[in-house]
A and B are shown apart, each in its own frame.
Chain A
Amino acid sequence: MKRFKGKGVYGAIAVGAVSVYKRQNTDVRRTHIEDTAAEIARVEEAKAMAVEQLSEIYEKALKEVGETHAQIFEIHMMMLEDDDYNESIRSIIETQSVNAEYAVAVTSDNFSDMFASMDDAYMQARAADVKDISDRLIACLSGDSGETSDSGGSMIVCADDLAPSETVSLDKERVLAFVTAFGSSNSHTAILARNMNIPAVIGAGEGFLDEIKDGMKLIVDGHTGELILDPDDDTEKAYLDKQQADARKKALLQELKGKPNVTKDGRQIKIFANIGGVDGIGAVLANDAGGIGLFRSEFLYLESEDFPTEEQQFAAYKKVLESMAGKKVIIRTLDIGADKQIDYFGLEKEDNPALGLRAIRICLTRPEIFRTQLRALYRASVFGELGIMFPMITSVSEVQRCLDACEEVKKELTAEGIPFSKNVELGIMIETPAAAVISDLLAPLVDFFSVGTNDLTQYTLACDRQNARLESFVDTHHEAVLRLIELSAKNAHANGAWIGICGELAADTSLTETFLRMGIDELSVSAPFVLPLREAVRNTNLSGK
């Protein structure tokens, strides 16, 4: 029994036989050719075959992973038809009297080098696309058509790395899981795996490849990234039990997955998820949340020894936006102070931190911290659908200062020629009674409200949420809190803004009907609550009462 560890990209368990992914021999040999015209004709034939394969892959991807992720293969087809690419292959064959495979390999290197040397991450990633289409063309030239080694039954595909087209080409019915030695958990391949619902572990390391052989028994734990080769009976049994428990849970969820959040009488509501770090994305996707309603940016500051740089923040925001592939992501700006303290901020000790210098108050007193975060957010905005929200708002002038800071940052970026999205939504947290009471004045300034019920409750009821002895005085369903939410909803809608709830109350299914009646547009809850909440919404009927 041997253990390895990589990164799990889709949380499920598989137990089965290893099948080592055999790629067509990509070692291309240079041979001398007399009849160059015939060689060029071979390229044309192979190209037609490759385009046909790609259009099949495109169709398959369209069904299995959706249009956004399938587009990549449409681009591959266009690249194969590119004039320069084809001219380069032709001219190498003609001028050097060499075989087609060699001409394609050289052309592939030249073009992928061109993309790899560009200073733009998006274009750099296109180098892999050039390699992918060229390898396919070479395989067509050599008459290889098989994709995986065929052992007849189900298998766990293990490879050094898999190209997106290889991943989609895997037969979903027979692939129990896949494991790669290299690659990142945010690669196209990992994203496709997630969308195909196949347990996958990425980056298991080179040592793993050395140990595996076709037919060996392997356990893949996509939750933890653990791999167990040749397990003993007890270990195998433990994992099979875990797998069964997973399957039961999944069957329940599967029923609700992909279904709309709609009441019996047709009222729709968005259900998003709250997360506190980049590693929460997997759970968001697995539970079929419609977006991220609250991304707490504090982890960036808490995990760091000093203020996180613009680049560090940009990388994290970009990752979330990319992983969510066009679904809404609402990132809350820094919310520390009160119960979350960070040494390097050098904040003075306060007797009453809940009413102290926290959240937006820190950002407005120390604009350099705020500016760095806003720059990183706007720079990342081109990678998805970003919303930015400001915590602990109590007045119109605070909101105005936040909006001014955003304008300032946008001006800077424009002057520097750095792109940002023009569709970033700006919103505020409604978590102080003040904000709720003047929500009619705040709503015209923003695109959305998000109610933070935990703080709103503690401030409205004057009950410290950290104090356990107050528990009997804290009524989370207190009419005062509910009225403030209702008032905010009314004022949001009267001014063309939308309103969500991202506090713990959002997951309380005994209030779902109340919130629906108030016209709340979005509920954002921890990922495991998404589907139970969907069930509650679907069982609600607002008519006839």
Chain B
Amino acid sequence: MKKFSYTITDAIGIHARPAGNLAKLAKSFAGTKIMIEKSGKSVDVTKLMMLMGLGVKCGDTVEFTAEGPDEEAAAAAVEEFMKANL
């Protein structure tokens, strides 16, 4: 299992568009489960509405975990996406 945490610097937080793109990215790693956790609540990153429902705002620290055959690549891709967009 791969783990990393990330602190949001985007002013509006994980809003609709990046959430959609993040979900799409996570889906591309079929067979690898990517979860995001914010203050004890954890959701599957492929689930757009739940992801938006987490209400991740600027300054929040979230933890990602990736588990499965592609976990290395998946975690690296998600981390890169977060740094570039959020």
Measuring CB to CB, which residues of chain A are less than 8 angstroms from any residue of chain B?
A: 71, 74-75, 78-79, 81-85, 111, 114-115, 118-120, 122-123, 126, 129-130, 381-382, 414, 417-422
Q: How large is the interface on B (under 10, 10 to 19, 20 to 34, 35 or more residues)?
A: 20 to 34
Q: Is B1 an interface residue (CB 8 A)?
A: no
- Alpha-carbon distance between A292 and B52 when the two chains are bound, in angstroms: 32
The reply to whether A120 and B23 form a contact with Cβ atoms under 8 Å apart is no
CB neighbours (8 Å) of B20 from chain A are 74-75, 78
Q: Is B55 an interface residue (CB 8 A)?
A: yes
> Which of A75, A118, A123, A418 has a CB less than 8 Å from the CB of B17?
A75
Chain B: which residue is nearest A129 at the CB level? B16
CB neighbours (8 Å) of A417 from chain B are 57, 59-60
Q: Is B15 an interface residue (CB 8 A)?
A: yes
26 contacts between A and B (CB under 8 A): A74-B20, A75-B20, A78-B20, A78-B24, A78-B48, A79-B48, A82-B49, A83-B46, A84-B47, A118-B53, A120-B13, A120-B55, A120-B57, A122-B12, A123-B55, A126-B16, A382-B12, A414-B59, A417-B59, A417-B60, A419-B12, A419-B13, A419-B57, A420-B11, A420-B58, A421-B11
> A126-B52, A419-B58 are contacts. A82–B47 as well, Cβ < 8 Å?
yes
The reply to whether B58 and A382 form a contact with Cβ atoms under 8 Å apart is yes
CB neighbours (8 Å) of A123 from chain B are 52-53, 55
The reply to whether B23 and A78 form a contact with Cβ atoms under 8 Å apart is yes
- Alpha-carbon distance between A456 and B46 when the two chains are bound, in angstroms: 59
CB neighbours (8 Å) of B60 from chain A are 417
The reply to whether B58 and A115 form a contact with Cβ atoms under 8 Å apart is no
> Which of A75, A78, A114, A381 has a CB less than 8 Å from the CB of B53?
A114
> Which of B11, B15, B49, B59 has a CB less than 8 Å from the CB of A79?
B49
CB neighbours (8 Å) of A422 from chain B are 9, 11
The tally of CB-CB contacts under 8 A between chains A and B is 67
The reply to whether A75 and B16 form a contact with Cβ atoms under 8 Å apart is yes
> Which of B11, B52, B55 has a CB less than 8 Å from the CB of A382?
B11
Smallest CB–CB gap between B53 and chain A, Å? 5
18 more contacts with CB within 8 A, not counting A82-B47, A83-B47, A419-B12, are: A74-B20, A79-B49, A81-B48, A82-B49, A83-B46, A84-B48, A84-B49, A120-B55, A120-B57, A123-B52, A123-B55, A382-B11, A382-B58, A414-B59, A417-B57, A419-B13, A420-B11, A420-B58
Q: Is B30 an interface residue (CB 8 A)?
A: no
The reply to whether B50 and A119 form a contact with Cβ atoms under 8 Å apart is no
The reply to whether B49 and A85 form a contact with Cβ atoms under 8 Å apart is yes
Measuring CB to CB, which residues of chain B are less than 8 angstroms from any residue of chain A?
A: 9, 11-13, 15-17, 20, 23-24, 44, 46-50, 52-53, 55, 57-60
- Alpha-carbon distance between A81 and B59 when the two chains are bound, in angstroms: 29
Chain B: which residue is nearest A78 at the CB level? B20
The reply to whether B50 and A84 form a contact with Cβ atoms under 8 Å apart is yes
Smallest CB–CB gap between A321 and chain B, Å? 11
Smallest CB–CB gap between A167 and chain B, Å? 19
CB neighbours (8 Å) of B58 from chain A are 382, 419-420
The reply to whether A419 and B59 form a contact with Cβ atoms under 8 Å apart is yes
Q: Which 8 A-B pairs have the closest CB atoms?
A: A419-B58, A382-B11, A78-B20, A75-B16, A82-B48, A417-B59, A82-B49, A419-B11
Smallest CB–CB gap between B75 and chain A, Å? 21
CB neighbours (8 Å) of A71 from chain B are 17
Chain A: which residue is nearest B53 at the CB level? A114
- Alpha-carbon distance between A422 and B57 when the two chains are bound, in angstroms: 15
CB neighbours (8 Å) of B12 from chain A are 122, 382, 419
CB neighbours (8 Å) of B55 from chain A are 118-120, 123
> Which of B11, B44, B46, B49 has a CB less than 8 Å from the CB of A111?
B49
CB neighbours (8 Å) of A414 from chain B are 59
CB neighbours (8 Å) of A85 from chain B are 49
- Alpha-carbon distance between A119 and B53 when the two chains are bound, in angstroms: 11
> A85-B49, A419-B58 are contacts. A122–B11 as well, Cβ < 8 Å?
no
